[in-house]
Amino acid sequence: MTSKKKALGRGLDAILQSPETDITSRDISGNYVAGAIADIDVRKIDANPFQPRTRFEEESLQELAGSIGRQGIVQPLTVRKIGYDRYQIIAGERRLKAALIAGMKEVPCYIRVADDEQMLELALIENIHRKDLNPLEIAISYQRLVDELKLTQEDVSKKVGKDRATVANYIRLLKLPPEVQYSLRHEQISMGHARALIGIADPAMQLKILLKIVEKGLSVRETEKLARETEAGPLSFKKNESPALPEQILSAGARLDQKLDARVAIRQNTKGHGSIVISFGSNSELERILKMLNQE
């Protein structure tokens, strides 16, 4: 019994590699006990209510599902018991979604004990280190650690392994106008663009420059230069630049962007002629957009 406790104290990697781990351990009710690694029925696993991720890329999930279908799940999910024969995801929700797509009935899980506060912390930190999390999702995760766990930015930086300035820069993104946040979330602008916009005190001017970034494809360096000039004095527009788009066109573009869940850019010249450009990142996304347009 002592040897098993030692194995459980060395972390998940040690448990997976340890021949001492009991993978069929059950309690008297027939449930797997905390500390066990077991194949659990996917119908008995609930999503994590503290999950900070808001979007799961469909194409990426399909690729992972294909890999799981061929090789199985290499890294077990981490779950906690929440009742009789019921479990809740702590880490690995993307793997669970892909496993469901692959048609798996059971998935390997490491069962551990965690209260709600630990669930939130583990879910946030596990997701923060994922490469496909967008800057706003990271910013929201950092802010939740501050607000809900009562941590300082310094505490957060230590927990996630980032310097305090990095944490502060992400959290500052949440002070940007909703339109800028929307553009950042949908990859119309980058983190570098957003940081340049933060340096502009006037929200209305932030939106003006946001439109210039999207319409003209300004680089981060060009945006930083424009932001500096804006703070130094009035924003000047050259005579040969395109006029600002009317509010009804901007509103229509925003509605189309949201409806298609894709980047939409509307351009119009001084004669009233223009174009609508819909961006896509993959063949499957193009097919999705075309299907939505054909339904109209």
Catalytic positions, please?
Answer: 93
What are 60's two structure tokens? Answer: 């990426």
CA distances from 62 to 48, 65, 95, 179, 288 (A): 21, 5, 11, 31, 14
What is the rounded distance in angstroms from the CA atom of residue 208 to the CA atom of residue 148? 35
Q: What is the dihedral sign for C-alpha 106, 110, 111, 115?
A: negative
CA torsion sign, 136 to 139 to 141 to 146?
negative
For residue 164, what are the contacts with CB-CB under 8 A and spacing of at least 6?
A: 153, 154, 157
Q: CB–CB of 174/140 below 8 Å?
A: yes
Report d(CA 79, CA 45) in Å as an integer.
8
Q: Is 274 helix (H, G, I), strand (E, B) or coil?
A: strand
Q: Which of 88, 134, 137 is nearest to 111 (CA)?
A: 88
* Cα gap 64→98, rounded to integer Å: 6
Contact 95, 75 (CB under 8 A): yes
For residue 83, report the phi and psi dihedrals to the nearest 5 degrees: 170, -170
| Pick from 78, 103, 86, 75: nearest CA to 46 | 86
